[in-house]
Chains A and B, each alone.
Chain A
Amino acid sequence: MVTMDDYTGLEPAWCPGCGNFGILRALNKALVELKLKPHQVLMVSGIGQAGKLPHYSRGNVFNSLHGRALPVAVGAKMANPELTVIAIGGDGDGYAEGGNHFVHSLRRNHDITYLVHDNQVYGLTKGQASPTSDEGFVTKTTPQGASPAINPVVLAIVAGASFVARAFAGDIDYLSELIQKGIRHRGFSLIDILQPCVTFNHKNTFKWYRERVYRLDEEKGYRPGDKKQALEKAWEWGERIPIGLIYEQKRPAFEDRLPTLGKGSLVKQRLKPVRVRALLKEFE
C-alpha cells in the first residue's frame, strides 16, 4: 500500500505561499493514486526553484543542470524503460536554457512526463524576466520591458507533441488528475503549470488566475484530438484561460522504435565481450 507518507521528503525551502507547494502535493497524490512505489519513479529536474522539488518528494532523483533535465531524463528512460520518468523544471529552465531539448524531446516523443512550473519569472536568481514573461514586463535585466512571450503550449503542439496540458497550481486535484493522465500516456506528455510566484510576480497571482481559469473537460464539444481546435484553445489567454488536456495524439513513442528495447531494459541485459567475434570477421 502506497501512501502520501511514502512521498514525504525533505522540508521545502520555498517561499511561504509559493505555487510550488500545490504542484508538489499534486505530484505526490498522483504517484500514490497510480500505486507507484518511490523506487519505481525517477524524477529528473533542472535548476531553479522548481528543480528542488524532487528533494521534497521521494524517489530516485537526478537533479541535473539548468536546462538539461530532458536529455538526462530521456537517457535514463532509454536505459531502463521500466522506470516512470518525470522531468521537472521551470519556465526559464525548460523554455530558455533548455529550449532546444524541449522542442526535440517532444518531437521524438520519448515516453516521459514533463512538468513545467511556469511562473513567468526567474525565482532562484531573483526576479529577472523569463521567456513566458508578459511583453513589457520590467525587471532589473529588462528595464525597457520584456520581449513578447513564447506560448509553450502552442509551441509544443506545433512541434509535434503527443500530449499537451495546461494546469493551475491552485487547482491541486485537477492538476493531479492531469499528471496521472500524462504518466499513463504513451509518449511525451507536457504539463505547463501556471504557478503564482508570490515574491516576484505581483500580476499573475492566485486570485488573478482563479478569476480566469476554467476546466476544458467541462467545455461542451471540446475534443483534444482536434489539432485546429487545440491551437485555438492554446492561444486563449486574458479574460479566460483554459486548463486541462488541450491536445492529445496517439503515435509511437521513441522507445517503441528502438528494437533493442523490445528485448527488455538495457540495464538488465548481460554484457558478453565474445559477441563481438562475429563482427571482427567483417574486417578480415
Chain B
Amino acid sequence: MSVAANFMIGGEAGQGVQSAGIILSRTLARGGYHVFADQDYESRVRGGHNFFRIRVADSEVGAVSEPIDILLALNQESLELHKNELSGAGVVIFDEARVKATGGERFLPVPMDRLAEEKAGSRIMANTVALGDCLGLTGCDLELLEGVLRDYFGEGKLSEANIEAARAGYEYARENFKKISPVRLGTLRRKKGLLLNGSDALSLGALAAGCRFMAGYPMTPASPILEYLASKAEAMGLVVVQPEDEIAAINMAIGAAYAGARAMTATSGSGFCLMVEGLGLAGLTETPLVVVDAQRPGPAVGLPTRTEQGDLQFVLSAHHGDVPRVVLAPATVEDAFWLTVKAFNLADRYQLPVIILTDHYLATCYATVGGFSLSQVTIDRGELFSGKPEEYKRHALTESGISPRAFPGLSPALVVTDSDEHDEAGHLTESARIRAEQVAKRLRKMVSLRGEISPPELYGPKQAELTLVGWGSTYGALREAVDVLAKEIKLNLLHFRELWPFPAEAVSEMLSGTGRLCVVENNATGQLARLIRAETGRGIPWKILKYDGRPFTPAYIIEELRKGES
C-alpha cells in the first residue's frame, strides 16, 4: 500500500471516543479509503481509559496496525499511555485546557473547548473541532466530514453547529500547523463501499435472510444485534422482544420457529450457558434456530468488554445427549453477513440449531466492505409437507433424516412435537425401538449436512514450510502476518470459518502435505487444535495463544512467531 495511516482517539468513557471514531472512520471511507477500526473500552459508563484505533489505506486492510500517526488525546491518561506508540512523523492533538504536554513539534495543542464554544456555541462539540483538525492536518477533504456530520446528527441546528466546529478545527490546523504533515490523505477515486461493524453485518444478514423473530436479553457484546433489529422491527416486519432472561429468549425463539417464523437469539458466553437447555430442546424437537454467541472472556462474568475465542469447545458439545448442530465462525465483517444467511438456510433445511460464534472483537470492529449483493441471497425454507393433512407426522422417518415440516394453524395438519423422546407423530414414547430409530434419524441429517460445510481457506502458497492455523475473527491479523513474513519464509494460513460438522476429510488432506504447523488462537488452551486432533488425529504442539482479553495484531503474531522460530 502506498498510502496508509493510523489514527487513535483516546479518552475516558463518556467523552465521545466511540462517536468520534465512527465519524472519522466514515469520513475516511467516503474519501475512498479502506478502513479498519477497533475499539478498546472498559466495562463502565463514565471514566476509565478507552480508545478507538483507525487504520486507513488505499488497499485492503483487515487489522489495525502500529505505530500511531495521529493520536487524538482527549485526556491526560491517553497521552501518557500512548505517546510512546507514535510513528516517526507521528503527532498528538490535544487541548491544553485539559492535557499538559511539552516536548516539541509533535505535540500540537488545539483549543478545542474554546473554539467549540466560540464557533459552535458549546463545548460539547470539542471533539468535532478535533476531527476537523485531523482533516486539516492530513489534507483530507472537509466536505466529506461535513456530509458525515449531517447524516449523523440529521438536518438541523445540531448538525450545522457541528459543521461550524469542524470548520474551526480544520482552519486552525491549516493556519497553525502548516509545516506539519504526518500523512497526506487526498480523496481517492474508488467505488465507495459500506462501513460497518460485525454486529451490523450480522444483523443485516439476518434481515436479508428473512428473520422474522428475535428474542434476546441484553449482554455485551451481543446487545447491538438486539438493539439494531429492534430499531428496524416495524420497517422490516419482524418481532423483537427483550424477555426476562436468556432461557426465555431461546424458548421464545423456539416457539416462534415452531410456528413457522425464521427465528434467532443472540447472547454471550454466560448467557449461552443459560440457553443450553433450550439448545437441546431445539435439537430434540427438530426446530430450526439460529443462536449467536458473541464470545467474551470467561468463565462467569469474565471480562465483559474484552475479547476471546474461548467458547468453541463449549458450543460444540453444549447439552447432554447427542444433539446435531452446526457451528459457524465468521472471519470478517463481510463474512458475518453471509454466514448468517447460510445459518438460517441450514437451520431450516436440517431443522436444527445453528450457532454463530463471533466475539467482542469482530462484533465491535469496523471495516469497509464493497457491498452486499442482495440478489445473491437465497432463502431456502427446506422440505415442506405437501401430503394429506390427516396423515402428517412431524417426525416421520425418512432416508435423509429430514422430516418435511408443516406449520401449526396453516392447514388442518396437526403439528405435534415433544421434548420427551417421541414417535413419528410427535407423541411421547418409551419404546426402545422407536427411541433408537429417532436418534438415528436425527443424526442421519448430519450425513448430507457435511456436504454443505466449506473446508477451511488456504491463504498463501499451496506448499509451505510453515502453516498457520486459525479460526474466526483472527483472520485479518493472521493474513497480514503471512503477507509480511512471506519475504522471509514460505508460509501460508489455514483458516476455519465453518467448524461443525467438522470437514475432517478435507482437513486431513490439506494437512498431509504441510511442514510445521502453528495454531494461533485467542484462548488459553488451543481449542481449535484440540478439535483438529480429535477429528483428524493430527496434533499441533506449537501454539500461539492469547488470553489477556485483547485481540491479536499482525505485529504481535509476527513477534511470537519469531520467538518460536529462534
Which residues of A pack against B, CB within 8 Å? 10, 37-40, 42, 44, 47, 52, 55, 58-65, 68, 70-80, 82-83, 100-101, 103-104, 258-261, 263, 266-269, 271-280, 283-284
Contacts and interface: CB of A to CB of B under 8 A. Distances in A.
B426 A65 contact: no
Given A80-B408, A267-B407, A274-B375, A74 B204 contact: no
A74 B417 contact: no
Given A71-B255, A271-B210, A273-B208, A39 B408 contact: yes
Given A65-B278, A83-B259, A271-B212, 5 more contacts: A80-B407, A266-B213, A266-B260, A273-B375, A276-B208
Given A280-B194, A284-B192, A80 B239 contact: no
Contacts of B262: 271
Contacts of A268: 410
A74 B237 contact: no
B295 to A, nearest CB: 24
Contacts of B428: 52, 55, 63
B248 A276 contact: no
Nearest to B407: A267
B68 interface: no
Given A72-B251, A100-B244, A260-B237, A58 B419 contact: no
B252 A75 contact: yes
B323 interface: no
B213 A273 contact: no
A259 B233 CA distance: 9
A64 B257 CA distance: 13
Contacts of B489: none
A64 B422 CA distance: 12
Q: Chain B contact residues: over half helix, strand or loop, or mixed?
A: mixed
B499 interface: no
Contact of A266 (B192, B239, B372): B239
B241 A78 contact: yes
Given A10-B427, A40-B409, A266 B261 contact: yes
Contacts of B564: none
Nearest to A61: B416
Interface in B232-268: 232-239, 241, 243-245, 247-249, 251-263
B69 interface: no
Given A58-B414, A64-B281, A79 B204 contact: no
B420 interface: yes
B378 to A, nearest CB: 8
Contacts of A284: 30, 192-195
Given A101-B244, A261-B239, A65 B263 contact: no
B506 to A, nearest CB: 29
A77 B260 CA distance: 11
A55 B210 CA distance: 33
Contacts of B58: none
B256 A266 contact: yes
Contacts, number: 204
Contacts of A59: 414
Contacts of B334: none
Interface string B253-292: 1111111111100000000000001100100010000000
A61 B261 contact: no
A9 B258 CA distance: 21
A100 B375 contact: no
Q: Chain A contact residues: over half helix, strand or loop, or mixed?
A: helix
Contacts of A44: 255
Contacts of B419: 47, 63-65
A65 B281 CA distance: 7
B237 A75 contact: no
Interface in B370-411: 371-372, 374-375, 377, 379, 389, 407-411
Contacts of A283: 194-196, 200
Give the residue among B234, B255, B260 with the most A Cβ atoms within 10 A. Answer: B255
A78 B371 contact: no
Nearest to A269: B237
B61 interface: no
A260 B194 CA distance: 28
30 contacts: A58-B414, A63-B418, A63-B420, A64-B419, A65-B281, A71-B252, A72-B254, A73-B255, A75-B251, A75-B252, A75-B253, A78-B252, A79-B213, A80-B408, A83-B409, A100-B248, A101-B244, A260-B233, A260-B239, A266-B238, A266-B239, A266-B261, A267-B260, A273-B379, A275-B207, A277-B374, A279-B232, A283-B194, A283-B200, A284-B195
A273 B262 CA distance: 13
A66 to B, nearest CB: 9
Interface residues of B, number: 71
A71 B260 contact: no
B254 A75 contact: yes
Nearest to A13: B428
Nearest to B213: A79
B409 A42 contact: yes
Contacts of B245: 100
A271 B277 CA distance: 30
A79 B208 CA distance: 18
B215 interface: yes
Contacts of A263: 237
B204 A279 contact: yes
Contacts of A280: 194, 204, 371-372
Contact of B243 (A42, A65, A71): A71
A31 to B, nearest CB: 13
B165 interface: no
A214 B232 CA distance: 51
B409 A72 contact: no
A276 to B, nearest CB: 4
Nearest to B236: A275
A224 B68 CA distance: 70
Contacts of B414: 38-39, 58-61
Nearest to B420: A63
A80 B237 contact: no
B260 A61 contact: no
Contact of B213 (A64, A65, A78, A275): A78
Contacts of B329: none
Contacts of A71: 243, 247-249, 251-252, 255
Nearest 6 A-B pairs (CB), nearest first? A75-B255, A271-B210, A75-B252, A71-B251, A267-B260, A60-B408
Contacts of B372: 276, 280
A76 B209 contact: no
A74 B119 CA distance: 54
Contacts of B204: 276, 279-280
Nearest to B260: A267
Contacts of B259: 42, 75-77, 79-80, 83, 266-267
Contacts of B260: 79-80, 266-267
Nearest to B262: A271
B412 interface: yes
Given A52-B428, A78-B239, A274-B374, A72 B207 contact: no
B93 interface: no
A38 B392 CA distance: 14
Given A68-B247, A75-B263, A60 B208 contact: no
A61 B245 CA distance: 24
A260 B195 contact: no
A60 B239 contact: no
